[in-house]
Amino acid sequence: MDQYLKNKVVLVTGGSRGIGNAIAVKAAQAGANVAICARGRESLDKAVTQLQQISPDILGIQTDVSQSKDVTACIKQINDAWGAVDILINNAGIYRYAGILENSTEDWDAQFAVNLKGPFLMTHAVVPGMKAQKSGTIIFISSMVAVMSIPQHSCYSATKWGLDGFAGSIGQELCEYGIKVHTLRPGMTDTSIFDEIGKPDMDIDWIEPEEIADAVEFLLRLPKHAQVPELNYTSTAHRKEY
């Protein structure tokens, strides 16, 4: 594979499973120094073993992205090993399917902590290094529910709408420093986000995580001057509604 990311430092949050893992595999194949972070030690170790079969330049860092101290320690470990992060993939997220009356305060807080606070903390931690080198790429893995409303998704949708607003604002703020910001919105993807609650029984053609990784590769291969602020990768089922 073309080593188009040779010597680049890539951090993928939620990189042990699903979309994040597929992105990490692509980055390792492209020659990057790849760091993945996740909360679960077992899945993290498994993913690191998998990635080290592709490249020796792999770090697996147990991190809760909603905790400032964890994020600070994660970035320090990467900086000590390789220097500044060149590419941040804000992928970590959790999903709870519930109507407004069934949506508990605990679930609401948990989704906002991981899906919105986490990307803020990670972005806040890597931007100084990107500004210093006058280059960098930040990709937010959002969702089609950020731009379309679906019943029983009020909290998850709210986190993704918020994420899109955050990404749009910092994209304008950081472009003068050579830092690109992209929002990628997958449609219904067959990924590990459903592990805790079960995959919905839907008669659709599910998107595979590797397809979203291909979309990330497209964004990372763009010419230096090219700006693609938002990219929707949806299925026929969503396209009928959006």
**What does the angle CA 92 – CA 208 – CA 165 come to, to the nearest 5 degrees?**
40
Residue-level pLDDT at 154? 86
Residue-level pLDDT at 142? 96
Mean pLDDT of 158-165: 96
Domains annotated for the chain, with CATH where assigned, are 9-239 (3.40.50.720)
Query: What confidence category does residue 226 fall into, taking pLDDT thresholds of 50, 70 and 90?
Result: very high
Q: Are the C-beta atoms of 214 and 195 separated by less than 8 Å?
A: no
The residue type found at 142 is S
Q: Is 156 among the catalytic positions?
A: yes
Average pLDDT, the chain: 92
Could you give the CA distance from residue 220 to residue 89 in angstroms, rounded to a whole number? 11
pTM of full prediction above 0.85: yes
State pLDDT tens for residues 166-210: 999 999 999 999 999 999 999 876 676 656 655 556 556 778 999
Q: Which of 4, 97, 156, 242 is an active site residue?
A: 156
Residue-level pLDDT at 204? 63
Per the structure block, which two tokens stand in for 182? 């992209």
State pLDDT tens for residues 62-79: 999 999 999 999 999 999
State pLDDT tens for residues 1-45: 689 999 999 999 999 999 999 999 999 999 999 999 999 999 999
Could you give the CA distance from residue 111 to residue 115 in angstroms, rounded to a whole number? 6
State pLDDT tens for residues 49-59: 999 999 999 99
State pLDDT tens for residues 77-108: 999 999 999 999 999 999 887 788 888 999 99
| Percent of the chain with pLDDT strictly greater than 70 | 91
Of the candidates 126, 121, 198, which has an alpha carbon nearest to the alpha carbon of residue 163? 121
Place of tokens 């699903």: 18
State pLDDT tens for residues 106-129: 999 999 999 999 999 999 999 999
